[in-house]
Amino acid sequence: MLNLLQFFILGAVQGLTEFLPVSSSGHLILLEKFFSINDNLVLLNLTLHLGTALAAIIFFWKDLMNIIIKRDWNMIKNLFLALFTTTILGFFLKNTVENIFIYNNSIKPILIGMLFTAIILFISTKIDKSHRSLNTLTRVEAVKIGLVQAVAIIPGISRSGLTYFITLQSGIKKEEAFKFSFLLAIPTILGAAFVETITNFKDITTTTALWPLILGLIISFIFGILGLWMFKRVIKTAKMWLFSIYLVILATWLWFL
């Protein structure tokens, strides 16, 4: 049985790493192995992901309202195309990824994913062609963003880092790439949580007390807001390389641990 401190740690790590480009799935799997969590993983992960989804909704509330009120069909179509592409490819990748990265006792595949993310983040610091606004994003580019987001189903590979990188590479301004990446994150997180719950509903039990789950949700929400603010700040100060260094150090340390 997890104690309140462990729920706090899990919530904080999920909240920060869901939006910072360091792979939340990779960090959660490592923590779950460290804490030897085997029971009710589906309910735990669902609770933590709901907290971060709520954080993204609150953080981008004005943007979401603008899209709805102004009926920004171009943005809606691009978000839908990216999400649809992710869903289709993710469906075919899911079982393979779970067998290699989740049900496998070795953490080395996750560490390889983190090193890959570190390289992508470092390359993103060298991109200096971001000048377009989001309303110029093409359908093909939206599909491409959806494809790379599906690749981020692999633990260790950051969804936020990869989608930000590919949007930036398309020539979209940094702040706009940040916005699209996380507007896309909202339905992605909620959809993935829903599918995971339906698929593994039989594994959900009521043995976990309610209050620790509520604590985990609240903490993941608070740290999710913090993670979004930090990522936006890092983009403005052009210090993405800090995450590259963190991932290289963490992966190297765990590899030889």
Stronger pLDDT, 193 or 162, i.e. the higher one: 162
Residue 177, token pair as written in the block? 């790439």
Q: Higher pLDDT residue, 107 or 207? A: 107
Contact 227, 119 (CB under 8 A): no
From 7-21, 31-45, 60-74, 85-99, the region with the lowest mean pLDDT: 31-45
Its domain, for residue 194, covers 4-255
Asked if residue 42 has pLDDT above 90, the reply is no
Share of the chain above pLDDT 90, in %: 50
CA-CA distance, 13 to 2, in Å (whole number)?
15
- Residue 185 and residue 56 in contact, taking contact as beta carbons nearer than 8 Å: yes
Mean pLDDT of the chain: 86
DSSP letters of 55-123? HHHHHTHHHHHHHHHTT-HHHHHHHHHHHHHHHHHHHHHHHHHIIIIISSS--HHHHHHHHHHHHHHHH
Q: pLDDT band for position 102 (50/70/90)?
A: low
pLDDT at 201 over 70: no
Alpha-carbon gap, residue 169 to 177, rounded angstroms: 9
CA quadruple 223, 228, 232, 238: dihedral, nearest 10: 60
pLDDT level of residue 116 (50, 70, 90 thresholds): very high
Tokens for 183, please give them. 């507007």
Most confident of 43-47, 65-69, 130-134: 65-69
pLDDT digits (tens, 9 = 90+) for 172-198: 998 999 999 999 999 998 888 777 777
The answer on pLDDT for 207 being more than 60 is no
**Model pLDDT, residue 64:** 94
pLDDT at 38: 64
Region 140-145 average pLDDT: 95
Domains identified in the chain, total number: 1
